[in-house]
Amino acid sequence: MSKLKIDLKENGLHSLWRGIEAYQEYTQAQDKWLLKEAIMFVHHGIELLMKEILVEHSEYLIFDDIGRDTVKKQKKANLEKTGVFYLQDPPKTVTFLDAIKRVEAFVQSSELDEALATWLYELNQLRNQLEHYAIEADAERVVKLLSNIREPLLELFEAQIGGIKREEPEQISNAWTNVKNIASEALLKEVEVAELIQHFQGQEIPGRIFSLDGSIILPTFKHVQHNFRINKLQHRTIVDVFAESDSESWVIEVKMGRFLSPQALYQVSAVSSALDNAVPWLVFFGKLHNPMREQARDLGILLTGSQEWQELKNIIGKVE
């Protein structure tokens, strides 16, 4: 029988492309397992291709530990005239995050900038949650991740490995385009939110717009940033909108779709904590139901649905 040999590059591309295919299938079937497959396969493909970059730079960078035990195994492989990973007890290789850190440190590729690294950290967080916990994946978060990593990843792999663009099948390229088109709808809504809040100037508005009782005084924001990057030791992510006034800061997440997932509330709450308890606000361009409003109040999160958003736009527009 002929031997089966799949190298790192082939293996990585197969997983990456399978992940994109799985997401394309998810958009048609709305099967949650396909969304899980998309995350797991894309993560696996990127990990293998990052390791291929390390091997191209120095084959020893792929080892988790270059200590005495690994040296002993390498010597054994040399004597047996085989690859060290064909041994019965091969050395461990680096993890997903360690591979990224080593590419940053030793390869120093300009294509792997802070923005791409942050998206990859978030992808790793999603993958870990799916593998180790029973969670509800945020489909909108996934498509935004995939859309944002596509171009910079392609440039990184093309520069460091080569042949990636040429080898990508047409159906995979079309699937990536579909991902971008879906993500662009959410992007337009994020921009709409970022632009409107620049006109907050201390207006008094009904609290119901934020799922609160009474009334609320809007802050006057001095700085508004779309796609704000958080780069802290235990929390690396990018939030939709971050706004600051002289006395407070708001972290704003924008969601679309037919239903609002409770996971979206926990997500904005976690980001708020990472930003020294910035005011969390979730804008959902869909119909809100009372149980979700109550849950938002319990978590201390401002929550606005599509109807309330239109009311807010009308109030701000009248003041202007």
- The per-residue pLDDT for 74 is 76
> At which residue do the structure tokens 């663009």 appear?
165
Give dist(CA 309, CA 283) in Å, integer.
8
Q: Which CATH class is domain 190-319?
A: alpha beta
Q: What percent of the chain has pLDDT over 90?
A: 59
Q: Is 83 a residue whose pLDDT tops 60? A: yes
Q: Which residue has the higher pLDDT, 7 or 173?
A: 173
Residues 68-96 have a mean pLDDT of: 77
Q: Is 320 a residue whose pLDDT tops 50? A: no
- The per-residue pLDDT for 86 is 67
Read off the pTM.
0.82
CB contact at 8 A, 79 and 71? no
How does residue 31 score in pLDDT terms, banded at 50, 70 and 90? confident
- Identity at 77, one-letter amino acid code: A
Question: 205 pairs with which residues across the strands?
Answer: 216
Residue 275, both tokens: 């930003």
Q: Is 174 a residue whose pLDDT tops 80? A: yes
Residues 33-44 have a mean pLDDT of: 93
| Phi, psi of 282, rounded to the nearest 5 degrees | -115, 120
CB contact at 8 A, 51 and 99? yes
Residues 35-60 have a mean pLDDT of: 92
Residues 128-141 have a mean pLDDT of: 69
Residue ranges per domain, the chain?
Answer: 8-168, 190-319
Count Cβ atoms within 10 A of the Cβ of residue 296 and give its class: 0-12 exposed, 13-18 middle, 19 or more buried.
buried
pLDDT single digits (tens) 233-269:
566 788 899 999 999 999 999 998 778 888 889 889 9
Q: Is 4 a residue whose pLDDT tops 50? A: no
- Identity at 111, one-letter amino acid code: E
Q: Is 318 a residue whose pLDDT tops 60? A: no
pLDDT single digits (tens) 145-160:
999 999 999 999 999 9
Residue 86, both tokens: 């064909």
pLDDT single digits (tens) 296-305:
999 999 999 9
Q: What order do you get walking across the sheet with 279-284 strand by strand?
A: 223-232, 235-244, 249-255, 279-284, 302-304
The DSSP output letter for 226 is: E
How does residue 214 score in pLDDT terms, banded at 50, 70 and 90? very high
- The per-residue pLDDT for 234 is 61
Q: Which residue has the higher pLDDT, 92 or 293?
A: 293
- The per-residue pLDDT for 231 is 74
CB contact at 8 A, 250 and 222? no
Residues 276-286 have a mean pLDDT of: 92
Average pLDDT, the chain: 88
3-class secondary structure for 154-213? Answer: HHHHHHHCCCHHHHCCHHHHHHHHHHHHHHHHHHHHHHHHHHHHCCCECCEEEHHHHCCC
Q: Is 120 a residue whose pLDDT tops 90? A: yes
E strand spans, the chain: 204-206, 215-217, 223-232, 235-244, 249-255, 279-284, 302-304
Give dist(CA 253, CA 250) in Å, integer.
10
Q: Is 218 a residue whose pLDDT tops 80? A: yes
- The per-residue pLDDT for 232 is 66
Least confident span in 42-46, 232-236, 310-314: 232-236
Give dist(CA 91, CA 73) in Å, integer.
7
What's the CA angle centered on 283, arms 277 and 289, to 5 degrees?
Answer: 110
> At which residue do the structure tokens 């006395």 appear?
247
